[in-house]
């Protein structure tokens, strides 16, 4: 069994879509990032990479590389999950928290969980996503940024066996 932890934060700006967990959330601001800026998927990707000591998302998908300009973070996360498979590990569970003052994410959590589960070939019951505010504190609390934290577990794939694949 392996455990990984990930974190990401992006500034919120006008003129970009707000992507959270592979879902576009209606809002007048979105993440400023080289890719689509999806902080939740980036935190999950970092957690997965960390679980197998494979570095971080910036190492695998450098922010200065034009190949990843406006990249779909769902595809980046799929690629990370495949890297784990090549090491003999599969994702077992995801527990994540998004910190965002507004908009309220509650109405979107089910769709976000389903999207992450689909990307990682997990049952939705193996994906937990929580939404919190920062109580007006720091960049997330002032509405200038969005943050996400993720913890994942990965398990060794036994020969010809997989829990979820």
- Is 21 inside any structural domain? yes
51-105 pLDDT per residue, tens: 999 999 888 887 887 778 878 999 999 999 999 999 999 999 999 999 999 999 9
- Is 161 inside any structural domain? no
Looking at the 3D structure of the chain, how many domains does it have?
1
CATH of the domain at 96: 3.30.1330.50
Provide the pLDDT for residue 148. Answer: 98
Q: Taking the complete model, does pTM exceed 0.85, yes or no?
A: yes
Provide the pLDDT for residue 109. Answer: 98
How distant, in Å, are the alpha carbons of 51, 57, 65, 88, 110 from that of 94? 12, 17, 28, 18, 14
- Is 37 inside any structural domain? yes
Provide the pLDDT for residue 67. Answer: 79
111-121 pLDDT per residue, tens: 999 999 999 99
- Is 41 inside any structural domain? yes
The boundaries of the domain holding residue 52 are 2-156
Provide the pLDDT for residue 77. Answer: 97
Give the mean pLDDT of 28-55: 95
- Is 120 inside any structural domain? yes
- Is 164 inside any structural domain? no
């Amino acid at each position: 069994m392996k455990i990984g932890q990930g974190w990401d934060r992006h500034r919120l700006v006008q003129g970009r879509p707000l992507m959270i967990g592979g879902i576009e959330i209606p809002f007048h601001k979105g993440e400023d990032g080289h890719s689509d800026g999806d902080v939740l998927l980036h935190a999950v990707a970092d957690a997965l990479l960390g679980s197998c000591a494979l570095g971080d998302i910036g190492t695998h998908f450098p922010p200065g590389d034009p190949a990843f300009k406006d990249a779909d973070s769902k595809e980046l996360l799929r690629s990370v999950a495949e890297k784990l498979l090549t090491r003999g590990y599969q994702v077992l569970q995801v527990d994540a928290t998004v910190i965002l003052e507004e908009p309220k994410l509650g109405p979107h959590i089910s769709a976000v969980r389903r999207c992450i589960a689909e990307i990682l070939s997990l049952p939705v019951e193996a994906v937990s996503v929580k939404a919190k505010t920062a109580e007006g504190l720091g960049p997330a609390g002032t509405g200038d940024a969005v943050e996400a934290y993720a913890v994942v577990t990965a398990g060794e794939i036994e020969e010809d066996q997989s829990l979820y694949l």
